[in-house]
Amino acid sequence: SRAKAVFSVMGMTCSACAGSVEKAVKRLPGIHEAVVDVLNNRAQVLFYPSYVNEETIRETIEDVGFEATLIQ
Ligand code: 9UX
């Protein structure tokens, strides 16, 4: 079954930032959808917990260069 995670993502200043976060998260296995909202500093990810988890997604966002916190 599918799970949802919402992250606060700090440091994104343009839509290209959001695009790079979305692209990186979508490259992970087990991701159904990733939507990044630069105006609200949020990333919402739908994923399959058998393949990937919140911490791996969070670390992937950080690897792109932004500070990510799981908030929901
Ligand atoms: Mo361009 Mo957004 O370097 O941080 S991708 S401003």
Domain ranges of the chain: 3-70
User: Are 2 and 47 in contact, with CB atoms under 8 Å apart?
Assistant: yes
**Tokens 């440091």 belong to which residue?**
11
User: What is the number of other CB atoms lying within 10 angstroms of the CB of residue 22?
Assistant: 19
CATH number for domain 3-70, candidates 3.30.1490.20, 3.30.70.100, 3.60.40.10, 3.40.50.300: 3.30.70.100
Ligand 1 centroid from CA 44, angstroms: 20
- pLDDT in the model for residue 48: 98
What's the order of all strands across the beta sheet hosting 42-47?
Answer: 31-37, 42-47, 3-10, 67-70
pLDDT of 69 reads 98
Q: What is the pLDDT of residue 40?
A: 98
Q: How far apart are CA 13 and CA 49, in angstroms?
A: 30
pLDDT, position 3: 98
ipTM of this model? Answer: 0.82
Nearest by Cα to 47 from 63, 31, 27, 59: 31
Kindly give the number of the ligand 1 atom that is closest to the alpha carbon of 19: 5
Q: What is the pLDDT along the chain (72 residues), one digit of tens a residue?
A: 999 999 999 999 999 999 999 999 999 999 999 999 999 999 999 999 999 999 999 999 999 999 999 999
Dist. CA 1 → ligand 1 center (Å): 35
